[in-house]
Structure 1
Amino acid sequence: MTMLKPLAFLILIVCTTFVVTQCRTIQPNDANLIQQTCKKTPNYALCIQYLNSDPKAPSADVTGLALIMVNVMKNKANIAINKIHQLIGKSPPDQKATLNSCASKYNAIVVADIPSAIEALQKGNPKFAEQGANDAANEANSCENGFSGKSPLTAENNAMYDVSVITSAIVRLLL
């Protein structure tokens, strides 16, 4: 009976050590990848915010992080499109043309830039994903500039621009 207590104690120590060492190698490295990746983007805090809000991020590699950001781009573009459609119905005639132009730009982001970025990342060709993210940033800037300083879409355009340049920077790490 006295022989079992030291043996049980030894087994407990070995099991605890195993669990602790396994947890230590998984958790910090995942958080570290997100932090190290975001440090290489133009907006560290926003990058961290977007990636930490996705439950897949801690287990993702850099390609996975880029895909998460492309999905954020898609969400931001859809938010902008919805707002544009709301504004078109109640805006003065001189703004309708600019809003329609913005709708076209955001449609290009959703229909062309985002699908091409996703496909490029999935096929291991990040150059085209970077181009899609850069195009989205340019479309958002172009929409904003079309209003000559009186844009009702400034928040949406800035959000789209920010997420696109972060995405582009992450994709660039894969080149």
Structure 2
Amino acid sequence: MHLLVLNVLREKMMKTMMMMVMMAMMMGVAMGDIVDKTCKQTPDYSLCLSLLRSDPRSSSADTVGLGLILVDKIKALGTETLGQINMAYKTKPMLKKPLDECNLRYKTIVDVDVHTAIIAIKGNPKFAEGAIVDAGVEASVCEGGFPKGQSPITGLTQKMNKICDVTRAIVRMLL
């Protein structure tokens, strides 16, 4: 009799565990659908998927969360670009003036635009859109300050503009 009760309990536990696993899998698929559906509404579907899927937070994020993840990506790229600017001071001293301008502009992106976007996404997304647009403008103005073909950060600037375009599209979904 005791063995029979144990077998019944074991069977019920197995069924419960199977249900929990299936529910977890369905939640993961549903959240993946949010990323996919959201990225389809941006100007660069592949970039959007790549950026969001590289962050584990995206698996449980809503649209606000996805926007915040992308703002974090802008901050990370801005910080990386500042590092490249600092290295370029040593390797390209003749570009000091445009590098100084870029240093200022990328600090604005990292310290002001990102901060503003984070607060606004959580509150009034209209202001987040302005901050994201400004980040792209700051990067473009930086790039335009170099003599033609001499910018050591062209690739990073182009990437910043693309990420800003994707982020802006997601922020607009919040309006």
Mapped partners of 1:100, 1:13: distance in 2: 64
Corresponding position of 2:113:
113
Distance change >3 Å, CA 83–CA 20, structure 1 → 2: closer
Q: Which stretch shows the higher mean deviation, 43-52 or 19-28? A: 19-28
- The reply to whether residue 122 of structure 1 matches residue 122 of structure 2 is yes
- The reply to whether residue 28 of structure 1 matches residue 29 of structure 2 is yes
Shift of 1:102: 0.9
Query: Which 5+ residue runs of structure 2 have no aligned equivalent?
Result: none
Alignment of 1:8-19 (within 5 A): 11=12, 15=16, 18-19=19-20
Corresponding position of 1:155:
155
Mapped partners of 2:174, 2:68: distance in 1: 12
Shift of 1:24: 4.9
Mapped partners of 1:128, 1:110: distance in 2: 16
Q: What per-residue deviation string (whole Å, max 9, x for no partner) do you get for residues 43-80 of structure 1? A: 11111111111111100110000000000000000011
Mapped partners of 1:18, 1:156: distance in 2: 46
Secondary structure (helix, strand or coil) at the match of 2:166 reads helix
Percent of matched pairs sharing the same residue: 36
Mapped partners of 2:163, 2:151: distance in 1: 19
Shift of 1:16: 6.3
Corresponding position of 2:43:
42
Mapped partners of 2:72, 2:23: distance in 1: 31
RMSD over aligned CA atoms reads 2.2
Query: Which 5+ residue runs of structure 1 have no aligned equivalent?
Result: none
Alignment of 1:1-175 (within 5 A): 11=12, 15=16, 18-19=19-20, 21-93=22-94, 95-123=95-123, 125-147=124-146, 148-175=148-175
- TM-score, scaled relative to structure 1: 0.87
Shift of 1:17: 6.4
Aligned residues: 173
Mapped partners of 1:38, 1:155: distance in 2: 22
Secondary structure (helix, strand or coil) at the match of 1:101 reads helix
Distance change >3 Å, CA 80–CA 20, structure 1 → 2: closer
Shift of 1:7: 6.2
Shift of 1:12: 7.0
Shift of 1:20: 5.6
Mapped partners of 1:65, 1:162: distance in 2: 16
Shift of 1:22: 1.8
- TM-score, scaled relative to structure 2: 0.87
Corresponding letter in the other structure for 1:80: T
Q: Which stretch shows the higher mean deviation, 59-68 or 95-104? A: 95-104
